[in-house]
Structures are given as C-alpha cells and as structure tokens.
Structure 1
Amino acid sequence: MAPLTAFKVWLKSLVGKRQGKAPESGDMAENAAATAKALQAGLELTSEGIILLDDRGRVVAFNSGAHALAHAALADMRGADFWDAIPEDIAESHRSAAEQALRESGSHQFVARYPFEDQWVEYCLRQHADGLLVTLKDVTAAHRASRQLRESESCNQALFDVHPQAMWLFDVGSGHVLAANKAAAALYGMTQDELGEFFAAQLFPEGEGAAVLASLPVGDFHGEMRLCTQKKAGGQPMLVELACSSVQWQLRPAVMVSVTDVGARHLADAHLQRINEELELRVGQCTDELQRSRSELDAFTSAMLHDLKSPLHVIHGFASTLAERYAATFDAQGRHYLARIQASTHQLARLMDDVRTLTYLPHMLMAPEQMDLVPVCQRLMDDLRRREPGRQLVLEMEPSLPLVGDRKMLVIALACLLDNAWKFTSRKEQGWVQVGLKADPASGNLVLQVSDNGIGFDAAYADKLFTAFQRLHSSADFSGSGLGLAIVRRVAQLHGGQAWAVSADQGGASFFMSLPQGADLPGPENLPA
C-alpha cells in the first residue's frame, strides 16, 4: 500500500505495541489510518523537508518543511508527479540530469534558486526498493558565504595578479610553485605558466635554494626578510630581497614570497658609500688645511701685534716727549699735528687690543659660573667716568642681575657695550644707560639688554653692526676700532646664543645677547670654532 515497506512495518509494529496486540485482517482500515498518521507525525519531527515518492515518482507523503521549501503550488502534493509538484523552471533545469543520475547511481543532488525569495534550496534524491526519498534543505546562508568566499578569492587573485610587487607562492610540502603574478614573471623573464612549472629551489643558484628554504621557520610566520641571490630564466644571477610569509592558498599550506631586485640599489649604495668615504676624506683634508691656515693666521696675528707694539711705544713716547718739552715752541699747526699723532697712536693701540681680544676669544676655555652683573657694570662705568670726569651718565639697573656664564668673556662683552653707550651718548646733555635681564619664553634663555639714549643707528644697516670693521659713523665723529660689537657677538656665540640690535624711533639703541643657562650652556668640548 506504501512504497517504504520497511518503514511502514516499523510503524505498524509500533502501533501494535501501543494497542497490545498484533494487527488482524479485520483491523486493516483502522491500522492503515493509524499508520499514515504515525508516518506523517514522524516526517514532521525532522527539521529538513522530506518528500516520499513511490516507484513511479508520485508523491506519497511530505512534511510541511518540504512544502515550504519546494514552494509548491499544490496545497496537497499527494498523488502528484514530483516534477509537476515543484516549480516548473526548476523541474526543467534539473529533471533530465536527475533521472539519468538516478538510473546510473541511484542518487542525485542539486541546488535550486528561488529568485523572488532570494533563497537557495538543496534537493537530495535517493532511490530505494520502494521508490524515492527526497530531502530538502535551506542552504541560503551557506551559499551566500560560499559566494562571498569565491568573490573574495577572485578579488584576491586579481589583486595578486596585478600587484606591481613581484610575488609568488610555493607549496610547503612539495616546494612546487603554486602561483606567480605578472610582476614576478617579468622579473624572472618568463611567463606565469612557465614560472608555475618550477620548484622554489630552482629559482636559486645551484645548492643555495635548499638552504634558504630550510631556514624558514616552521608554522605560521610573517615578514621574514632576507638578502640572497636568485637567477632569471637565462641563468643570470640577481641580488634580491625576499619577504616570506606563511599563508593558506586554496586550502593548502603555502609560503608567499615577495621579491625585490636590489641589485641596482646595492650598486647605488656601494657607489654612495664610496662617495661618502671620498667626501669624508676631503672634509678631513679641508679641516686639516683649515686648522693649519688658522694656526698660521693666529701665529701671524700674534707676531704682528707683538712686532707692532714696540714701534708704537716708540712713536707714543717721542710724541709725549715733544708735547712736554717743545709744545711751547710749536705754532698752532705744529701742535695740531702733534695732537693728531698722539690720537692716532692711541687709536692704533686700542685697535691692536681689540684684535688681540677677538683673536684669542675662541681659545679661551669656557668656565661657566653663577655671577651678578651689577658690580661688574658699576666697576666698568667707574673706569669710564675716570677717563672723562666731566661727563654725566646715569646707569640704571636692578639691584641684582644674576646669571650663569663665563665671567671673563661677559666682562669683555659688557665693557664693549658700555663703552659703546658712553661714546654715542656723548652729545646728550643728560645721557642714560639701562642694563637688564629678561627671560625668553620661546628658548628658555636669559637675554641681556643694554639700552642707551644716544644717537642710534639706521635700522636698514642693523645686520652690519656686528661685522668686524663695519662702522656706521665716521671715526672723526666717534672714535673706535669697529670691533666692539663683533666681540660682543663672538661672546654670545661662544655661550651658545646670539646678538642683535634694535634702533629706537626717537633716537637711542638697544643691544641684546641671548645666553643659554644650565644644561643648554656649551661646554669646552663643543665650543664653536
């Protein structure tokens, strides 16, 4: 009565056990109904869709899952041909192949898509003595994941193939090259198919490939960089840099190799190294030559200053004697000449002193110490007042001006700055000089400022003030060697700072020296040359 005799016998025995007796002929109708009900209940227990067919392919029984998954147009598929019960387009697509497979192997499986529902259903047909068993399973999620995986693999394959970096993969077990991109084929001078016929060790010079591959770590690894030699299609060697990483390629453990031809770079590096060595040699030679030239210049300067001192003393002595003994016998013109000689000898002596100071400043050992500038400025100002007792100049300072610096150098610089202020305020009825310290927030340095109300200078020539022998005023109007501010700048540089000047709109000028403090102050080992 049903195609699955064994299944029905089991159900009949189950019903008989529940009734406590074996089925008799008079109870056949009742037992058949019970059997059908039990069969349907059993079909509904499974989560998959199940359709039972007789030996002619007609539907004997089905569960609700099968009806939903098959999207059957018939409310009750019993008695209908299976291929008529499912959607027509699916039957047309798969019937012929299914019937042939069932005749040959007794089973067939296919996946059908329902576009409207965007659903994929797997049909599995299995033949047995009484008919066919058809199971249906919703495989939409798996199919989507598989499709995304295929799309991802396709995308990765495309990216791998067109990537400008030469890359190839080889199988961990066999060492056979599994894939190579276009850049790798171009690098080795062969096609991608030709490269795919190689083993990884064949891309290295004889005997070197096995050692390189054996040195790769076992298991997962990434970014193993190494410099080695490989060979191109014609056997031409090339120096390459390899980056190796373990990957899964089509479910196989593999190693991806990224290859960079560094032969040109290696040659360039070697050439650059040679150039650097030559430059270092030339710089060393130039430094030695500069040191020799500087030593010779220092020696010449020292000798010149020493040799000039004696004749200058002689000139000064004779001029003083003439002024003491014979000034009364000279006429006005003679006395003028004598005064010019004495002024020139004094100017020359001061110039020699300034040249000596500027020359020997770089050779002085830096000895930073905590000091107060107030007593230094007062002593220097007292010396200036003794030279010209009739001058009135007010010195304005805070009660204390503490800083860290080399005392000898800062005394020299302050002497130049105060002498400069004394000189250029000489035409003022009431001159003044201000000395102060302020912190520079940007650099953290202390800034020494010396300001006066003298005649000032043209701001357009501010950059020339600190250049040796550069004068913005005539020596006839204001005496001087033209080296004072150059000395100030040199002292600032030796302290690791700098010097600059600002001219006031209403006359006067301010001169500044930035002086690093503490750890920023240079030591003897790194003083500027």
Structure 2
Amino acid sequence: MSTRPPVQVGHEQLMALIDHTSAVIYMRDVDGHYLLVNREYERLFNLHREDIVGLTDHDLFEGPIADEFRANDLAAIARGIPLQVEEQAPGEDGLHTYVTVKFPLHDAAGHAYAICGISTDITARKRAEEEVRRLNDELELRVRQRTAELEASTRELDAFAYSVSHDLRAPLRSLEGFSQVLLEDYAEALAEEAQGYLRRIQANVGRMAQMIDDLLHLSRATRTQLHREPTDLSALAREVASELTDSGRKITWEIADGLTAPGDPHLIRLVLQNLLGNAWKFTGNAEHPVISVSVHPQSGVDVFEVRDNGAGFDMKYADKMFDPFQRLHSAGEFEGTGIGLAIVHRIITRHGGRILAEGTVGEGAAFRFSLAPAPADWELR
C-alpha cells in the first residue's frame, strides 16, 4: 500500500489562501512594522501591500486608532496566546467595528518575533444593535410619557369620582328630603296625583343614587391595583347569596365546594355580587328559582359558571350586554342601571380572563368566566 508524500505548502499557496477570505489578515513585527497584508486589507483601506510593508499603524491611521492597535498588539505578545478584542477602523461610511483575534509568532527560543491579526467586520451587527437600543430607549421614553399621561388621567378620574360621590349626592339628598317632607307634612293639602309625582321623584332619586354608586364601582374596577392571592369563590358566593336571601325570597342555591382561583378577592366579590344579584333579580318571576355556581375546567383553565332559570335573554343582544347602560329588559320589568355587567367584564379582563353569556328567553341565563387566560375557542356548554 503506497502512501502519498506530504505536500509542501509554500508562500504563494499561503498568500492565495489568505487572499481569498473575507476577513482582514495582516502580520507585523514586534516593533509594529507591517510584514504582510491580504487583499481584503488592500480593498478596505485602498492601499497596495507594497506600499504598506515597512510602515506602522501610526503611518496609516489617526493617533487614537493607531494607539489602540499597538496596545492590543503588545497585550497579545505579553500574553503569549491568542487575544480577542474589538477594534475600530475608518471606512467609507464612517468608523467600522471589527472583532479581531491577535496572536504572536515565536522563534525556536520562544521569543515573539511577529504578531498576526485576523479581523472580521461586525459593523452591520453593531449598527443593528445600536438601532435596537435606540428604539428601546425611544419606546421606554414613550412608555414613561404614556404612564405620566395615564397617571394624570387617573388623578382626573379620582377628582371626578370625588365630585360624583360628594357634589352630586348633595342635590339628590335635597330632592329626596324635601319630597319626603312634602309627603309627610303636606299630604292632606296635596292631591293624590301630586303625591304620586313626589313618589316618582323619590324613586328616580334612588335610581340616580344607585347609578352613581355603579359608576363609582365601574371606575374603581378599572383603576384600582390588583392584589392577587388565592381566593375562595365558594365562600364569597355563599356570603353574597346569604345577603340576597335576607330579602325574604325563597331561592334554591347550588354553590359547589372548592371553587378557588388566584385573584383580587375584593374585585372577585364584586363580580359575584353583580352576577348573583342579576340572577336573583331575573328569577323574580320564576316559580321555583334556582341559582347555581360551579366550575368546568377546559384546556387546563378553570371556567366558572353562574346559572339561573329566570327570565333569560335573546342571544342576538349578547354582544352588547357587557357595554355600560345596556339593558335587555325594561326598568318596569326589572330594576337596574345597566352597569353591573360592564363592571364584571372589566374586572374579568383585568385579571386576564374572558367572560361569555348564554341565554334563552323565559328559560334562564348562564355566565361563564375565567380568571386566567383561556383558549380562544372555549364556549358555553
């Protein structure tokens, strides 16, 4: 079996190799004088290798750049092993950044006699990184500005809420008080029709006061900070059911045990107050009213359900029922301000969850909601 003799690689072959690479390759002696450069070096700096050999970086570049090149050469010589650094050199469109590997060449006695460098242009990457940083800084500034605007809006909402809570209630109390005085002290002097008008004034004052309360709840549901903690929905539902049962109506409550979820207990209680309050209200004409609270896990997410066998609703209006002031029944049939479900929707959305409604006129309604992100395709079933 014959063996092929080793191929002797000469200077020309080595130069052909380094001339056909996209990296910048060069060699300098320990004093900094160029011994050779490749074609890429010639192309980048528009110089011929014959004109470069024997020169130093201080002959070719400005002082600060040449000083950095020389310092990196000496560091590589001192270490005796390859050194990787980032360097900058002038280009046609400004300074370019290179990642450079420098390593010394040693003679038989172990003394360094030259330094070699291989530099790869990473300017495009650096400029892209700088653009990303610039965009991030710009985005951060816009976020700070937007946050400041939101904080200012929140302060305005707080001022509005204070005004609603105090300034608007005062004239309502006057209306309610004076109409009551007229009914109590001047009833004999007033015709039955006039007394009816006063009672209507009182009823509308009460409705306006309830609307103010609901608007404040809607505002707080949007503005208050969430405090997530393990929350017992079963216990909260039973508390709300007990409050509603105190009204005297007989209702069958079916509240499942062990309903828990991470969330803000105060806001979740507000959700249950509205959903169970609606169920209680709309089962007013049911012969045997039943209201249930349960859970139906779907795709790893707990989906809670509040269901009743009351008046129900027409599904063609389902998309509008979570908007403020939307009512599917007249005030004469069932009292209310039309804000409760808007409050529920905002609280659920702030928790990252979803809520859907299903109903049939005369057969009841069901509301299903999650307090965590739920699959886009989950439905009532």
* TM-score when normalising by structure 1: 0.55
Quick one: which of 276, 281, 287 aligns to 1:423? 281
Distance change >3 Å, CA 504–CA 482, structure 1 → 2:
closer
| Alignment match, 1:359 | 219
Give yes or no for the alignment of 1:489 onto 2:350: no
Contact 1:168-1:177 at 8 Å conserved across structures: no
User: 3-state SS of the aligned residue for 1:508?
Assistant: strand
Aligned partner letter, 1:258? S
Give yes or no for the alignment of 1:255 onto 2:111: no
Matches of 2:136 and 2:259, distance apart in 1: 49
User: 3-state SS of the aligned residue for 2:159?
Assistant: helix
| Alignment match, 1:315 | 175
Contact 2:307-2:364 at 8 Å conserved across structures: no
| Alignment match, 1:525 | none
Give yes or no for the alignment of 1:410 onto 2:268: yes
| Alignment match, 1:300 | 160
The alignment of Structure 1 onto Structure 2 pairs a total of residues equal to: 357
Aligned partner letter, 1:418? L
Matches of 1:159 and 1:456, distance apart in 2: 83
Aligned partner letter, 1:485? L
| Alignment match, 1:448 | 304
| Alignment match, 2:108 | none
CA drift of 1:227 comes to 3.0
**1:301-336: CA deviations, max 9, x gaps?**
2123212212212322344455566499645x6566
| Alignment match, 1:522 | none
Indicate the percent of aligned positions where both proteins have the same amino acid. 29
**1:449-505: CA deviations, max 9, x gaps?**
3222344455565554434334444445443222212322344456x4424113157
5+ long unaligned stretches in structure 2? 106-112, 374-381
Matches of 1:181 and 1:392, distance apart in 2: 95
Query: Looking at CA atoms only, which structure, 1 or 2, has the larger radius of gyration?
Result: 1
Matches of 1:214 and 1:462, distance apart in 2: 77
Matches of 2:17 and 2:72, distance apart in 1: 27
Matches of 2:91 and 2:179, distance apart in 1: 93
CA drift of 1:383 comes to 3.3
Matches of 1:302 and 1:315, distance apart in 2: 20
Matches of 2:163 and 2:52, distance apart in 1: 80
Matches of 1:279 and 1:371, distance apart in 2: 36
Give yes or no for the alignment of 1:141 onto 2:13: no
Quick one: which of 47, 53, 56 aligns to 1:190? 47
User: 3-state SS of the aligned residue for 1:242?
Assistant: strand
Distance change >3 Å, CA 285–CA 401, structure 1 → 2:
closer
User: 3-state SS of the aligned residue for 1:142?
Assistant: coil
Equivalent positions of 1:46-445 (< 5 A) are 141-143=3-5, 145-146=6-7, 160-163=18-21, 165-171=22-28, 176-182=34-40, 184-191=41-48, 194=51, 202-206=59-63, 208=67, 209-216=69-76, 218-221=79-82, 224-228=84-88, 230-231=89-90, 238-246=95-103, 255-260=116-121, 262=123, 269=130, 280-281=140-141, 283-321=143-181, 326=187, 330=191, 337-361=197-221, 372-387=232-247, 389=248, 391-402=249-260, 405-437=263-295, 442=300
Aligned partner letter, 2:243? D
Contact 1:449-1:513 at 8 Å conserved across structures: no
Contact 2:28-2:34 at 8 Å conserved across structures: yes
Aligned partner letter, 2:308? D
Quick one: which of 509, 512, 518 aligns to 2:366? 509
Contact 2:99-2:120 at 8 Å conserved across structures: yes
Give yes or no for the alignment of 1:480 onto 2:339: no
User: 3-state SS of the aligned residue for 1:215?
Assistant: helix
Contact 2:322-2:342 at 8 Å conserved across structures: yes
| Greater length-normalized contact order (CA 8 Å, ≥ 6 residues apart) | 2
Matches of 1:193 and 1:423, distance apart in 2: 97
* TM-score when normalising by structure 2: 0.72
Matches of 2:309 and 2:104, distance apart in 1: 81
Give yes or no for the alignment of 1:498 onto 2:360: no
Contact 1:454-1:509 at 8 Å conserved across structures: no
